[in-house]
Chains A and B, each alone.
Chain A
Amino acid sequence: MSGYAADVAALARKDLRLELRARDTLPAMLLFVLATLVVFHFALPARAGDDPAYGLLWVALVFTALLGLGRAWVPEREDGALDGLVLAPCDRSAIWLGKTLATLAFLVAAEVVALPAFALFFAPLRGSALAGVALADIGICAVGSLVAAMAVSSRTRELILPLLFLPLAIPLIVGGVGSSVSQHGSKYLLFLVLYDGVFTILSWASFEYVVTE
């Protein structure tokens, strides 16, 4: 394994280990997404059809991700651990990538429960919708990990994170909903691939400037 990949693996493994110990992110995400789907199930009129339900699925997924992102950098904030990582001689983008992969793992774990629940409550998921979820997850975690790192050092982080993240997530929701309900789902999937490519590179390249003066 190359040095960079080894650093990313060590950092992501650390986050997974912390979550296994503390169990304060994934259970909250699971409870939130299930509760939200139950609420939507009773809130949506029976004759509304499948399309509004897909829209609500994306609302539930984005806010579940936001919940996970809000906790993502908390262990680094406590006891100055982020300073320790910043001082380490690894490429600083490895810190971002490790966090992105760990957050992605938590989001996928929440979706493993949420998507069957959605199929049970509302409608079966098409292949293009599943592909849309997978592609949007990458963008959500890549951009979200960057803006969560920006927000974590602020006193008003709970306010700043949604304000920074949600506008950046709008294209992902457009692409995700489009891939779920449109007859031309592949166009939206291509749009999500493009978003992931551009924003992943931007987040990767700009992380160093977020954590240093």
Chain B
Amino acid sequence: MLIRAREVEKRYGPVRALRAVSFEVAERGCLLVTGPNGSGKTTLLRLVCGLAAPTRGMLEVGVDRSQLGFVGHEPLVYRDLTALENLDLYGRLYRVPERRERIGMLLERFGLWDVRNQRVSAYSRGMTQRLAICRSLLHDPRLLILDEPYTALDDEGAAVLDRELDALARERTLVVATHDVGRIGPLAETRLALA
């Protein structure tokens, strides 16, 4: 198992952000996390990433930071840098081999090549989301954690992401939180419905 969670719970002071949950995700498995707003989907994904620590319970994730890709509610990029500069920064920090080629390939695939030298502040929300997905895939992570990845994507962007996830699901481990169950559902072997 790549991820094991036993009675994992998260509280911020008196507020319970995530009720105790238990689940396992196998290597090359896909976990679909669903639930209404405020049920703790984002909190759970941040716990799996290591951006937050559980208040109670046991959580084991069998990859280190270099093998983990994350798309969150926020794009995790710099608005005053261009797409190319953002990906170059992360490519350096992740020691991505053949960085320039990899960045070029991702920008091309997600339809951002022509705007690669524009600042992110000039991007639409959908373009920024595409860039966030490029950033998460840059280092070819073993575990990909996606929080509402289809947010703001147009039909073309969503179709590109569908193809990407379809290919990744065969060789990588995915944890996806979404309301768009129809898109991820066919890929998911395990479902976790938060209440």
Contacts and interface: CB of A to CB of B under 8 A. Distances in A.
A140 B38 CA distance: 41
B85 interface: yes
A144 B75 CA distance: 27
Given A17-B85, A83-B72, A89 B77 contact: no
| Interface-central residue, B70, B72, B92, B120, by most chain A CB under 10 Å | B92
A21 interface: yes
Contacts of B76: 79-81, 83-84, 87
A21 B78 CA distance: 12
> B interface, by DSSP: helix, strand, loop or mixed?
loop
A80 B81 contact: no
Interface stretch (A3-11, A37-45, A52-60, A147-155): A3-11
Given A84-B135, A87-B50, A75 B92 contact: no
Interface in B48-79: 49-53, 64-66, 68, 70, 72-79
Contacts of B93: 7, 10-11, 85, 88-90
B90 interface: yes
Contacts of A18: 78, 80-81
Contacts, number: 78
| Interface-central residue, A18, A87, A90, A213, by most chain B CB under 10 Å | A87
B119 interface: yes
Nearest to B73: A80
A83 B72 CA distance: 9
A89 B85 contact: no
A127 to B, nearest CB: 39
Interface of A: 3, 6-7, 10-11, 14, 17-18, 21-22, 75, 78-81, 83-90, 212-213
Given A80-B74, A81-B78, 20 more contacts: A10-B93, A14-B78, A17-B81, A21-B119, A75-B79, A78-B78, A79-B77, A80-B73, A80-B75, A81-B77, A84-B90, A86-B51, A87-B49, A87-B68, A88-B65, A89-B93, A212-B50, A212-B51, A213-B52, A213-B53
Interface of B: 49-53, 64-66, 68, 70, 72-81, 85, 89-90, 92-95, 119-120, 128, 135
For the complex of A and B, list the 5 residue pairs with the smallest distance between their C-beta atoms, beginning with the closest.
Answer: A80-B74, A84-B76, A89-B66, A88-B93, A213-B53
5 contacts: A18-B80, A78-B79, A79-B78, A79-B128, A213-B51
